[in-house]
Structure 1
């Protein structure tokens, strides 16, 4: 039988959540500034649209192998080590982007960036999951998602503005025709600050030691505790993982391919950055309101409707459109994608045993990375054959399939 947390425990949870969100902001700002600029760096190295897909693949591929073991490690040993180590690796990878003068080096740096993000995100998600009661997880993950969106807003805006300034000052190196190097240096500095701040996080997820301490107190062996199988056998877990995979992959594909789409349609770097920022700003706004929206509409109707509306907006972007229409449709897409992340995170977290929350979230992350590895490559292949507008067509169809899957799920 659960007991109500004391005032001191609630205060500790609030402090931990605040610090975790601050660290998340630094990490997401750095990531969201680095990734679109990595695409421009690749374009400056004469990369094709298909090669941009492989760049995205490199970012996500290692997570397929390491996310679940990292989740198990967090459940057993705590979140601080993986969080600090992951952010430090991201900082080194961002600096390596600045030194890349060929596609092989750039892909290697991007792979390291993705690997570092896995360690950071698995740890931070576990901290957020444990920083309060399970029934309020929607609101906590809504705030977590809102902070991610804020990083997605500021990252592209600052990155685009800094790149434009570098070009205006004629300060870009010949090997860097889009002026990306200052962004990578800034991202490395922010990751360094984030790693130092993360040293203040508790060793165990959210400062809650219940799972570890109770096992130690009663002598329960780790092998006797629920394992990965119990996570995978949770009712409708497959649908939850599919919904999460499509929502995140849609966000990822837009981040990777909008520079190429913009170059084909005559959009400036600044306008592409504004499009990304508008999408992220809409996601930020809706995530702040996740708790009230869930109480008003219910989780399943909210997610089903959001995916259907998002699919419509993306399908409307297939043909060439005036800039202001693209901005409106990207804002609608951002609202939709903003709903998906916190709802699927809370769905997966609530479905797992308390002592396996980090593992469950790592399973979700693994599924996301499979999508991030395969979908951009598939989209790039289709775009190479049918033009860049096909990117929106593929993403729209995927969101429609998600809406149908969630409609048949047990999400409440």
Structure 2
């Protein structure tokens, strides 16, 4: 009788929280996708080109790259919603700076703050969405990705139209407004009650009260050392390393699509409105991931999912330089977007299955660090290559580098299938590092 009284009211509450978290995800991606495709075009309109443009774009990922792991630690300790609201506030500040920018320095500062704020928001919503019940998680992650895809799809169209009709500063005003709405939805998000693993947190009865007091008063330096040892343990797990590499490759290609494809399209004489439509096509394809992803996961092994998504998504880099027709490029962006859209729920599912609830924030933090490493390397590589050769050749050179990275990742996963160390032993070793500091 007690169970019947307690559990039914929780289901609607969990559903409402899932909706608010998903709305926050959609608003985040709407704000991100509103500005990301036009930052490179805006920088070019200010006369910032070549390596200088690459640095302005790359600085966006600098602080997130450094703060991703500490951010996961903070999310685990202070709470996911605290990190979510702090990130939304930083996004509002960055929007105001974007509107004030008229040269490389303020634009770079806006990029720096936007990167940190967006990293915090994306970290928080990913951790919040993985805290639901294990039953139906595949469907939940796919639905979460649907909200993300809607934000990614609508924003570039709005961005292109606004920049063509009213100028870039109108787009930055829309970004600021979206960040304000995100702040409002963040206050409706709630965290699942966390029950720590007794084996990981409770000391042995034989330790005594004094030892438990010393454990509670453990110096911060010991906690930091334990944190990085735990990170090292997780990365040494080859399957977790595959997650990070897959995230890096996917985000790299997505960032090429949102940052450098618009420059290529502009060189073909395509307007900002049509550029926004093309970027939106990539997000539109992700909508089709929602119904097909659970079926693909049920029929294909992870190995073949990995090879399939790599092969299809790399087509973007190798085929774009050969195409000049708007509709041919749109078809390419749509097909490659399917593969890139699958990688998002696939890696989230793997992280949810490979970490405990107490390790979830750290796992997402490592994944975010991989994301931001991709967004740092993308403009730096393109900025370097375009200083010596054409943009079209740069697409091919970057494609070759990513192809090598994909081959290495597949080989690493194949070797992980023979790895004798089980997931349970790996996680227990990580918790032992954390306890011993």
TM-score normalised over the length of structure 2: 0.83
Report the CA distance between 1:406 and its aligned residue.
Answer: 4.5
Report the CA distance between 1:44 and its aligned residue.
Answer: 1.4
Runs (5+) with no aligned partner, structure 2:
204-211, 418-437
Task: Call closer, same or farther: CA 1:403–1:227 in 2, change over 3 Å.
Answer: closer
Deviates more, 1:208-217 or 1:342-351: 208-217
| Contact map agreement 1:287 1:342 (CA 8 A) in 2 | no
> Is 1:82 aligned with 2:83?
yes
Q: Counterpart of 1:260?
A: 263
> Is 1:317 aligned with 2:302?
no
Deviating beyond 4 angstroms after TM superposition, the runs of 4 or more aligned structure 1 residues are 212-226
- Deviation track 1:71-127 (CA, whole Å, cap 9, x = no partner) reads 011112210111011011101211210110111101110111110011111111110
Q: Counterpart of 1:145?
A: 145
| Contact map agreement 1:67 1:118 (CA 8 A) in 2 | yes
Q: Counterpart of 1:172?
A: none
Q: Counterpart of 1:175?
A: none
Task: Call closer, same or farther: CA 1:308–1:364 in 2, change over 3 Å.
Answer: same
Task: Call closer, same or farther: CA 1:250–1:312 in 2, change over 3 Å.
Answer: closer
1:330 to 324, 328, 333: 333
| Contact map agreement 1:307 1:403 (CA 8 A) in 2 | yes
- Deviation track 1:271-301 (CA, whole Å, cap 9, x = no partner) reads 2111101111112322453222211223331
Q: Counterpart of 2:108?
A: 107
Report the CA distance between 1:45 and its aligned residue.
Answer: 0.6
Deviates more, 1:294-303 or 1:52-61: 294-303
| Contact map agreement 1:304 1:406 (CA 8 A) in 2 | no
Task: Call closer, same or farther: CA 1:108–1:10 in 2, change over 3 Å.
Answer: same
Task: Call closer, same or farther: CA 1:341–1:272 in 2, change over 3 Å.
Answer: same
| Contact map agreement 1:84 1:199 (CA 8 A) in 2 | yes
Report the CA distance between 1:345 and its aligned residue.
Answer: 2.5
- Deviation track 1:107-156 (CA, whole Å, cap 9, x = no partner) reads 110111110011111111110111221x6444333233322221111111
Task: Call closer, same or farther: CA 1:392–1:140 in 2, change over 3 Å.
Answer: farther
TM-score normalised over the length of structure 1: 0.87
SS of residue matched to 2:387: helix
Alignment length (residue pairs): 393
- Deviation track 1:245-270 (CA, whole Å, cap 9, x = no partner) reads 01011111221112321222222112
Report the CA distance between 1:232 and its aligned residue.
Answer: 2.2
Report the CA distance between 1:217 and its aligned residue.
Answer: 7.7
| Contact map agreement 1:94 1:185 (CA 8 A) in 2 | yes
Report the CA distance between 1:9 and its aligned residue.
Answer: 4.1
2:359 to 356, 361, 374: 356
Task: State the distance in 2 between where 1:314 and 1:260 align.
Answer: 14
| Contact map agreement 2:249 2:406 (CA 8 A) in 1 | no
Q: Counterpart of 2:178?
A: 190
Runs (5+) with no aligned partner, structure 1:
167-178
Report the CA distance between 1:8 and its aligned residue.
Answer: 4.1
- Deviation track 1:303-334 (CA, whole Å, cap 9, x = no partner) reads 21121122234312222421111111111111
Report the CA distance between 1:64 and its aligned residue.
Answer: 1.5
| Contact map agreement 1:227 1:356 (CA 8 A) in 2 | no
| Contact map agreement 2:253 2:313 (CA 8 A) in 1 | no
| Contact map agreement 1:310 1:396 (CA 8 A) in 2 | no
Task: State the distance in 2 between where 1:49 and 1:258 align.
Answer: 15
Kindly report the root-mean-square deviation, in angstroms, between the aligned alpha carbons of the 2 structures: 2.6
Task: Call closer, same or farther: CA 1:37–1:311 in 2, change over 3 Å.
Answer: closer
